[in-house]
Structure 1
Amino acid sequence: MMDNKNLYKIAFGLAVFTIVYNIAEGLISTYLGFEDESLVLFGFGSDSFIEVISGFGIAHMIVRIQNYPHSKRDDFERTALRITGSAFYILVFGLVITSIYNIWTGHKPLTTFWGVVISIISILIMWILVVWKRSVGKQLNSVPILADANCTLVCVYMSIILLVSSGIYELFGIPYIDSIGTLGLSYFAFKEGQECFEKAKSDKNCCCD
């Protein structure tokens, strides 16, 4: 059984890894989504960039609760949450409008192959992060870290939406499935935005609890 100091180091390391991974995922997904004209992949990558902002708030939170276990959410975290929430709402607006436009014009992606590949990788990595964060959170008996693990699970759900929509289009070429998948991503992004503003107003850890 590890001591708390090492467990917090692991928790912080997981937060940093999440940030770095989301930057890489965002760059690759938005580039390939733009090149392949796949809105769902482009939207998925854009969401990853927003998760980076959230990740900095999580890393800061871990340092705070390590040094001051009974402290409440500070101004840095609340500001990060508001910025993240606003970014999610802007993303949702852009994705919904573009999805409707694509459906109206009958636009189809050139391919969704990379959406399938990226989603499978993301599901595996995010699930490992969920399990690892839960393990650390339970050992520390830390509600905030456990809440973060539950929120990371939302990333798994979004990856599944990317996998399903990209896989169906790649296999069957069904019209509008890319746009429908994008609307599915928009739903989760909207819920995440709501959650960010609720967390910024209170000391609740996560609406995913």
Structure 2
Amino acid sequence: MVSQEKKLLKVAFGLAIFTMVYNLAEGILATHWGMEDESLALFGFGTDSFIEVISGMGIAHMVVRIGRNPGSKRDEFERTALRITGFAFYILVVGLAISSFYNIWTGHQPVTTFWGMVISVVSILVMWALVIGKRRVGKQLQSEPILADANCTLVCIYMSVILLISSGLYEWFGVPYVDSVGTLGLAYFAFKEGRECFEKANSDWYCGCD
């Protein structure tokens, strides 16, 4: 039974590492194509992916902590990672909001949102697979923290859907300002994530990221 738990914890750690590596690659591609195509929504999505890498460090550390001491509570490393992540999300929110309103004011439109559609579809598929994997491991271990992390991964799916809708509406129908409106949608979820990071940093509560 103990060996089975260790195996599941290794799987959970592997999922955390994969999430970090994927978000890093996604962030690089999304910010590059976002700047190249002048798509604020895609650029903001990529920046969010970089922040998720910081968050992933805390998650990976959490899995290691649970493996060493199943009954332990959130330690200072995790709390620090949460606070840094929270600050980063809030900075992102301000930047996205200001840029969105500026683009609406000036009437700026992206060159194309094709790559936004591609990245969002890939992200939805990958993140949904991660949600399933994390939930399966969390249920088998009866681990509230891992299950909470699985639910938080759903936020990445919501943001990917927003990017897909805004990119699709512009690429296929040329709907004006939809890129900026989609960016504001991303900012909303980034704000919620930032707030939840600070709430978790100041308590031992594990969010469900409702």
Q: Under a length normalisation based on structure 2, what TM-score does the superposition of the two structures give?
A: 0.98
Q: Aligned runs of 1:45-124 on 2, under 5 Å?
A: 45-124=46-125
Measure, in 2, the Cα distance between the counterparts of 1:66 and 1:151: 21
Q: Which residue of structure 2 lines up, in the alignment, with residue 153 of structure 1?
A: 154
- The answer (yes or no) to whether the contact 1:92–1:189 under 8 Å persists in 2 is yes
Percent identity reads 74
8 Å contact from structure 1 (residues 38, 111) kept in 2: yes
**In structure 2, C-alpha distance between the alignment counterparts of 1:137 and 1:155, rounded to whole Å:** 19
CA contact (8 A) 1:54 1:80 kept: yes
Report SS of the residue matched to 1:3: helix
Deviation at 1:207, TM superposition (A): 4.4
Which amino acid is 2:35 matched to?
F
Alpha carbon RMSD of aligned pairs, Å? 1.0
In terms of mean alpha carbon deviation, does 27-36 or 198-207 score higher? 198-207
Q: Tell me by how many angstroms 1:208 deviates.
A: 2.0
Distance 1:208 1:21 in 2: 21
Question: How far apart, CA to CA, are the structure 1 residues paired with 2:4 and 2:188?
Answer: 40
Distance 1:199 1:73 in 2: 9
1:1-209, aligned counterparts within 5 Å? 3-208=4-209
**C-alpha separation in 2, matches of 1:136 and 1:68:** 17
Matched residues, number: 209
* Contact 2:110/2:179, CA 8 A, preserved across alignment: yes
Aligned with 1:16: secondary structure?
A: helix
CA distance in 1, matches of 2:32, 2:167: 16
Distance in 1 between the 2:84 and 2:123 partners?
A: 24
Do 2:89 and 2:194's aligned partners in 1 also have CA atoms closer than 8 Å? Answer: yes
Contact 2:23 2:53 in 1 (8 A): yes
Deviations 1:151-183 (A, max 9, x none): 000000000000000000001111100000000
- Please report how far the alpha carbon of residue 205 of structure 1 lies from its aligned counterpart in structure 2 after TM superposition: 1.1
1:12/1:154 Cα in 2 relative to 1: closer, same or farther (>3 Å)? same
CA shift, 1:206, in A, is: 1.3
2:147 and 2:48 mapped to 1: Cα distance? 22
Q: CA–CA distance in 1 between the matches of 2:209 and 2:86?
A: 15
Structure 1 alignment gaps of length 5 or more: none
CA distance in 2, matches of 1:104, 1:208: 33
Does the 8 Å contact 1:195/1:207 carry over to 2? Answer: no
1:206 and 1:6 map into 2 onto residues whose CA distance is: 25
User: In 2, Cα distance between the equivalents of 1:38 and 1:208?
Assistant: 27
